[in-house]
Amino acid sequence: MTLEEFYEELNDVDASHGTRLKYAKIVLNDMDLFPKLIEILFRVDDKVSTRAAWVFEFVCKEYIYAIIPYLDTFTSNLKKVHFDSAVRPVAKVCSLIAQEYDSKNPNTLKKVLKPFHKEQLIEVCFHWMISDQKIAAKAHAMDTLYLLGKDYAWVHPQLTQILEQDFPTQSPGYKVRAKRILKKVKKG
């Protein structure tokens, strides 16, 4: 399938779990589509990029290692994503990367996630934390910052400051996640 044919296919993706999963399985069964999915995802001013982000999240939830050859592209373009409905799924993928990186078990992601990748993830997650993002994106950003922050002495204090500062004005969902993250940071 060509890039443009795949782009047209993505027009049929809607917000339902079933449709996202259907298209994720199409990509998982033909991984030649994955770089095309990423290319469409980063057409950030095109509404179809949001649909690509939804599918991208589901592919990464099923097989996070698919992202490994594209870590440079993913991390360097993250800050360009601006549609709310695209930020949440890419924030989720950041969290999935951080979780795999923090895993107790040896894995390929631990070997290939370089400091500059982590720094780009941290930078965009802090941006999401201090900008006008929805709670889901901020929740995934908190998780990512907590996990990757274990490697950088300055991250947890900055995260703590933001969480404590924003706590009084945020939603109940934000507060629950913030409490959990703050407890983990204090525990060390």
For the residues of 14-35, what is the DSSP string, one character each?
A: -SSHHHHHHHHHHHHH-GGGHH
Question: Is 70:40 a contact under the CB 8 Å cutoff?
Answer: no
pLDDT at 42 over 80: yes
- Chain segment 95-153, per-residue pLDDT in tens: 999 999 999 999 999 999 999 999 999 999 999 999 999 999 999 999 999 999 999 99
Full-model pTM: 0.95
Query: Which SS3 state, helix, strand or coil, does residue 52 take?
Result: helix
Q: Quick one: tokens of 25?
A: 């399985």
Could you give the CA distance from residue 60 to residue 62 in angstroms, rounded to a whole number?
5
Tokens 């274990």 identify what position? Answer: 150
Name the percent of the chain in helix, strand, coil, to the closest 5: 80, 0, 20
Q: Quick one: tokens of 87?
A: 């930020």
Tokens 């890419």 identify what position? Answer: 90
Task: Quote the pLDDT of residue 188.
Answer: 77
